[in-house]
Chains A and B, each alone.
Chain A
């Protein structure tokens, strides 16, 4: 946000003392507004005013760090509402919720699941990052559970409106924990607890207007490491709030709403896993920063983590892999050659399946513009000539004595042309989907 020279001028003593090196306060102010000279050059502008100014020149949405060390993540910091305008920079986090009301066995089962749903997808680890622990009745058990969560490598979110309970729990929560948190009734006490622990404070209120007032009150108390609860009682309100809060921050330049959000999908659709998945998906696109679920099994994780990985990517350039010949399962110079494109997603899917097949093989990847198989084919970047030239230039024939060349099933039409261009090779049409590769490769080996 641009600050006007006049706004800065109002903060100077207007004495034209020249200590800043400018002839007048006005000249200094105009220059400072363009960033040409730091505000600090005028010794007479109060600390308070400087803070106000740096506030006004700050980005519309704060970047809030949660967790610490290996678990540290950044939330917020977005400058646009839609990803085609500019890359969305900080992906949302997923959370599941536990409580001190759960039996030890249930807690152990939930923790085991958290350890299990933890896998790699296109070079990125997929796992629940945050665990919300909701206070029911037993403060000691609650604090122990929070500690356990932190020790498991998850970012704890301490859910209670009781400042004393929060204070006890946050002590064992490690740095960067989230306290969820502040309401109009406990704001001052919660700010004290959060400040002392340097924790992120969640703010909840009954309406968006009340939430705004409460954030302002907390900011006045001097705390700005906040996340905002979009509401737990109605889907309609939660969705509208998430959109309105982000829109106010980005378009309305409303700094009090320039904070990440928290969505309790588990509360909005209690007991309904499919509706929670639907909600989580909607909030990945529309401004949820931490999305809390009752649990995260593979049926929810696989699609939701995949969606998140898609949305938080650079809209200008697809993720690519280097065009070259890759080796799988230790080939020994007599194994078949598969062909695919240099789109990272296609590579990742195919590579995973070849590994799963345990059949030694080579994977030849020409420069296909970073597109998927059919997109590249439709764009003229993955035709028979492109493939044939690559096979020759990379001298694939010297890598293996096998002359089997396996095409993706989706470009079966290339078989004839390619066979003509590569007469020494037997051009084989593979299955349409990579997941059919293990069986296909094993059958071929037999």
Chain B
């Protein structure tokens, strides 16, 4: 018998979400099949991550960026140029009340300067303190009105402020963060839409883990979310997925151990990139529509992977 393709028919479709403005705008999502198996609308966007606190970053980034490492706007420009990324993420880590506790105003100024320095869409990440992020991301949304940025991310404890300000008052995109669990992801999307945020303005951050560190849960969560969105046409899960693997990948021993710590493991920079590329690629085939990495070489590898699979 000649080969006959076993078609998997899906009734659902992932929302298309546009981020950024003008020539620099990109859209993510839009697929009506599992990742890369359909014919229309799917191209994973690759983002490059920077932060306003880079003290703990591996030495290799000092070599790549030099003095720009201490200046977010200059760093943003260099990061986009060196990586060829489709968009940029700035983490406003200095805002952390348990860290530098930088003021909201200072951090907003950083975000504005970074936006002005680049010609690609912007994702603004808070400091992961729910209370501070509510205040911070609200002000960021206001200051960057009209720029169509992504607020990364709203969680259960602050979605009301971030959703109302970001998604509604100032017309930004809201990333909804949940902890590797399909039900939690769905619940937060529903809460945000009930608040009045349009589902096309929501992107999901369903969580991640470094390869080897509980990634099986991430893989299965993504598979289940995509099968529910496409197969069961579950509208509460049809938002595009955004995943930042940079913090996880560069935080594990395989990436952090110096050559001195682990001489048998060889070049530290190559290990960090390997960790990041592996984790990011696994997320890409799992269904991430926008994937964020730290090293320019990681960004290039993921762009080649996506370009290769799309052909």
- CB of B214 within 8 A of CB of A302, answer no
- CB of A286 within 8 A of CB of B278, answer no
- CB of B215 within 8 A of CB of A297, answer no
* Complex: A286 Cα to B285 Cα, angstroms: 8
* Complex: A82 Cα to B4 Cα, angstroms: 21
Known: A234-B311, A310-B219. A116 touches B3 (CB 8 A): no
- CB of B212 within 8 A of CB of A310, answer yes
Q: Which residue of B lies closest to A248 (CB)?
A: B6
Chain B residues 265-294 with CB under 8 Å of chain A are 265-267, 270-271, 273-275, 277-282, 284-286
Chain A residues 236-290 with CB under 8 Å of chain B are 236-237, 239-240, 243-244, 247-248, 251-252, 254, 256-257, 268-269, 272-275, 277-282, 284-286
- CB of B311 within 8 A of CB of A282, answer no
CB of A345 within 8 Å of the partner chain: yes
Q: Which residue of A lies closest to B37 (CB)?
A: A243
Which residues from B are CB-within-8-Å of A298? 264-266, 271
Which residues from A are CB-within-8-Å of B277? 274, 277-278, 281, 303
- CB of A310 within 8 A of CB of B281, answer no
* Complex: A43 Cα to B297 Cα, angstroms: 67
- CB of B273 within 8 A of CB of A299, answer yes
User: How many A residues face the partner with a CB closer than 8 A?
Assistant: 63
Mostly, the A contact residues are helix
CB of B308 within 8 Å of the partner chain: yes
- CB of B264 within 8 A of CB of A116, answer yes
- CB of B279 within 8 A of CB of A303, answer yes
Say how far B277's CB is from chain A's closest CB, in angstroms.
5
- CB of A306 within 8 A of CB of B213, answer yes
- Which of B66-74, B111-119, B185-193, B252-260 forms part of the interface with chain A? B252-260
Which residues from B are CB-within-8-Å of A311? 215-216, 219
Say how far A432's CB is from chain B's closest CB, in angstroms.
9
Cβ contacts A287-307/B at 8 Å (1 or 0 each): 000000000011110111111
- Which of B85-93, B128-136, B220-228, B233-241 forms part of the interface with chain A? B220-228
- CB of B305 within 8 A of CB of A275, answer yes
Contact with B281, one of A240, A257, A278, A434 (Cβ below 8 angstroms): A278
* Complex: A315 Cα to B266 Cα, angstroms: 33
* Complex: A252 Cα to B271 Cα, angstroms: 40
Say how far A29's CB is from chain B's closest CB, in angstroms.
24
- CB of B213 within 8 A of CB of A235, answer no
Most buried by B among A268, A281, A378: A281
Which residues from A are CB-within-8-Å of B305? 235, 275, 278-279, 282
Contact with B308, one of A268, A280, A435 (Cβ below 8 angstroms): A268
CB of A208 within 8 Å of the partner chain: yes
Q: Which residue of B lies closest to A236 (CB)?
A: B311
Q: Which residue of B lies closest to A249 (CB)?
A: B6
* Complex: A434 Cα to B179 Cα, angstroms: 22
Contact with B257, one of A244, A306, A435 (Cβ below 8 angstroms): A435
Contact with B216, one of A116, A244, A252, A315 (Cβ below 8 angstroms): A315
Say how far A277's CB is from chain B's closest CB, in angstroms.
5
* Complex: A83 Cα to B286 Cα, angstroms: 12
CB of A403 within 8 Å of the partner chain: no
Chain B residues 1-45 with CB under 8 Å of chain A are 1-6, 8, 36-37
Known: A297-B270, A302-B275, A306-B212. A281 touches B220 (CB 8 A): no
CB of A212 within 8 Å of the partner chain: yes
Contact with A83, one of B2, B220, B301, B309 (Cβ below 8 angstroms): B220
CB of B302 within 8 Å of the partner chain: yes
Q: Which residue of B lies closest to A274 (CB)?
A: B301
Which residues from B are CB-within-8-Å of A372? 214
CB of B169 within 8 Å of the partner chain: no
CB of A101 within 8 Å of the partner chain: no
CB of A209 within 8 Å of the partner chain: yes
CB of A213 within 8 Å of the partner chain: yes
CB of B84 within 8 Å of the partner chain: no
CB of B198 within 8 Å of the partner chain: no
CB of B183 within 8 Å of the partner chain: no
Say how far A32's CB is from chain B's closest CB, in angstroms.
25
CB of B298 within 8 Å of the partner chain: yes
Say how far A336's CB is from chain B's closest CB, in angstroms.
21
- CB of A274 within 8 A of CB of B2, answer no
Contact with B304, one of A251, A278, A310 (Cβ below 8 angstroms): A278
Contact with B223, one of A84, A213, A256, A304 (Cβ below 8 angstroms): A84
Known: A281-B281, A303-B212. A315 touches B265 (CB 8 A): no
Chain A residues 106-122 with CB under 8 Å of chain B are 116, 121
Say how far B39's CB is from chain A's closest CB, in angstroms.
11
* Complex: A243 Cα to B266 Cα, angstroms: 34
Known: A212-B2, A248-B6, A254-B3. A82 touches B211 (CB 8 A): no
- CB of B2 within 8 A of CB of A310, answer no
Chain A residues 27-74 with CB under 8 Å of chain B are none
Which residues from B are CB-within-8-Å of A162? none
* Complex: A239 Cα to B1 Cα, angstroms: 23
- CB of B253 within 8 A of CB of A349, answer yes
- CB of A212 within 8 A of CB of B213, answer no
Chain A residues 348-388 with CB under 8 Å of chain B are 349, 372, 378
Which residues from A are CB-within-8-Å of B279? 281, 303, 307
Q: What are 8 pairs between A and B in contact, CB < 8 Å?
A: A84-B220, A274-B300, A299-B271, A299-B274, A300-B274, A310-B215, A310-B219, A315-B220
* Other contacts beyond A248-B6, A269-B304: 4, CB < 8 A: A211-B3, A286-B285, A303-B210, A306-B213
